[in-house]
Amino acid sequence: MSMATIHAVQRRSPFARLRRNGSATASLVLLAGLLLACFSAPLTGAAVGIDATSIDLFNIAAAPSADHPLGTDEIGRDLLMRLLEGGRVSLTVGLAAALSATVIGTLIGLLAGYRGGIADAVLMRLADGVISLPLLPLLIVLAAIDPVKIGLPSELVHSESFSLYRIVIIIALVGWTTTARLVRGTVLSLRERDFIEAARAQGLPPSRILLRHLLPNAASPILVAMTLTIGNVILFESVLSFLGLGIQPPIPSWGNMLTGAQDLISVAPMLAVWPGLLIFAAVIAFNFLGDGLQDALDPRALSQHGR
């Protein structure tokens, strides 16, 4: 990637290109809608007087009605509110985990690419290793260890939302590799360029060169990788939930709602259909968006689509 093309990309607004990509635009709209609905759920719920935790034993697994647009769940809670609440959790976890994985990956990639030599070799072997390992079985071990034994304060471990942090940490620990490779690649390709040489000659400190000159150029692949990661995290959370290692009730997430409803598939199929659909929709939307972003941010993408 030469400087000329990079600037060209920045000039030809990527947003304009993204808008021309139908599925990516649709995904963006869908995701924006989901985010808005989920994060405003407590407010709208309070406004109409429904919340996700009030239980009505006399109204179990009820069909959709005016009070409950999607019906109620197996202990009489409003399904729509639960889905929105669960969405808030799933999306938050997805964003937080993807963000932390990206930050770690970016730092490692910058370090490996800029330093080169042994640091590069070690870090990249590590990335190779992490990528090639059978992750899920390993994650099961990670998810099963007792955090108190590694010295975390027990008040933290014993809080209701600890399962949430745990997932974010686990994903950050293994999800950094793609970003690290991308960033390293960009840094390597730019390291010897004139403008970096010039910056170095001016005596700018490495941290400044890294952050001001190298990082912005790696921004597009990072953004793409992160978008794709969010989708994967949401999917991954559902799989962990299926194995009983995901986000723990009473905190709802799409993953644990789907897992719980699975047992009742023949009794109340809609309880499983809705979270399943939402996971599917959100993940596919993130994938389309990531793909669209890639096309929009990568100048060569145009010819790929032959448009």
Partner 1 sequence: MTGFLVRRIFQALIVLWVMSFVTYGLLALMPGDPIDLMLAGDPNVTSADVARLRALHGLDRPFLERYGDWLAGALNGDLGYSRLFGAPVLDVLAPRLLNSLLLMGLAFLVAVSIALPASVAAARRPGSLTDRLINLLCFAGISVPAFWLALLIILLFAVTLGLFPASGMATIGDGGFDDRAAHLVLPVITLAVASLAQYTRHGRAAMIEVLREDYIRTARAKGVTERAILWRHGFRNALIPVITIMALDFGALFSGALIVETMFAYLGMGKTIYDAVMGNDYNLALVGLLLATAITLAANIAADIAYTLIDPRIRLTGRRPA
Partner 2 sequence: MRRSARVLTFWLLLFLSALSLARPADAREQLVIGITQFPTTLNPMIDSMLVKTYVLGMAQRQMTIFGHDWEPICLWCTELPTFENTRAKRFPVLNPAGKETGREGVRTTYTIKPGAIWGDGTPITTDDVRFSWEVGRHPETGVADANSYQEILDIEVEDDRTFTIVRDKIDYRYNTLGDFQLLPVHLERDAFANPREYKNRTLYKTAPGTPGLYNGPYRVTEVNEGAYIVLTRNEHWQGREPVFERIVVKTIEKTAALEANLLSGSIDYIAGEAGLTLDQALGFEKRHGDTFDVIYKPGLIYEHIEFNLDNPVLADIKMRRALLHAIDRKAISDKLFAGNQPVAHGAVNPLDWAYHDKLPLYPYDPSRAKALLEEAGWTEIKNGVRHKPDGTKLSLEIMTTAGNRIRELVEQVLQNYWKKVGVEVTIRNEPARVFFGETVQKRKFPAMAMFAWLSAPESLPKTTLYSTAIPTEANNWSGQNVTGYSSPEMDGLIDAIEIELDREKRRALWAEQQTLYSTDLPVLPLYFRSDAYILPKWLKGLRPTGHKYSSTYWVEQWRDGSSASQ
**Which residues contact partner 2 by CB under 8 A?**
26, 53-55, 57-58, 60, 74-75, 144, 146, 158-160, 244, 248-250, 260, 262-269, 273, 276-277, 280-281, 284
3-state secondary structure of 78: strand
User: Please, is 91 exposed, middle or buried when counting C-beta atoms within 10 Å of its C-beta (0-12, 13-18, 19+)?
Assistant: buried
* Shortest distance, position 223 Cβ to partner 1, whole Å: 18
Residue closer to partner 1 by CB (options 4, 150) is 150
- The residues, any chain, with a CB within 8 Å of residue 187's CB and separated by 6 or more, are 109, 110, 112, 113, 114, 210, 214, 218
Question: What is d(CA 248, CA 241) in angstroms, rounded to the nearest whole number?
Answer: 8
* Shortest distance, position 293 Cβ to partner 2, whole Å: 18
* Shortest distance, position 58 Cβ to partner 1, whole Å: 30
* Shortest distance, position 249 Cβ to partner 2, whole Å: 5
Question: What is d(CA 102, CA 121) in angstroms, rounded to the nearest whole number?
Answer: 20
Question: What is d(CA 184, CA 124) in angstroms, rounded to the nearest whole number?
Answer: 9
Q: Which does 260 bind (CB under 5 to 8 A by kind): partner 1, partner 2, none?
A: partner 2
* Shortest distance, position 281 Cβ to partner 1, whole Å: 8
Bridge partners for 72 per DSSP = 78
User: Please, is 83 exposed, middle or buried when counting C-beta atoms within 10 Å of its C-beta (0-12, 13-18, 19+)?
Assistant: buried
Residue closer to partner 1 by CB (options 209, 226) is 226
Residue closer to partner 2 by CB (options 129, 244) is 244
Q: Which does 268 bind (CB under 5 to 8 A by kind): partner 2, partner 1, none?
A: partner 2
Q: Which does 231 bind (CB under 5 to 8 A by kind): partner 1, partner 2, none?
A: partner 1
Question: What is d(CA 242, CA 262) in angstroms, rounded to the nearest whole number?
Answer: 9
Is the Cβ–Cβ distance between 21 and 304 less than 8 Å?
no
* Shortest distance, position 242 Cβ to partner 1, whole Å: 5
Bridge partners for 78 per DSSP = 72
Question: What is d(CA 294, CA 286) in angstroms, rounded to the nearest whole number?
Answer: 12
Residue closer to partner 1 by CB (options 2, 65) is 2
* Shortest distance, position 168 Cβ to partner 1, whole Å: 18
Determine phi and psi for 78, rounding to 5 degrees: -70, 120
Q: Which does 138 bind (CB under 5 to 8 A by kind): partner 2, partner 1, none?
A: partner 1
Binding residues vs partner 1 (CB under 8 A): 23, 129, 131-138, 140-142, 144-146, 148-150, 185, 231, 235, 238-239, 242-243, 255, 258-259, 262, 265, 272, 276, 279-280, 283-284, 287-288, 291, 303-307
Q: What is the chain's length? A: 307
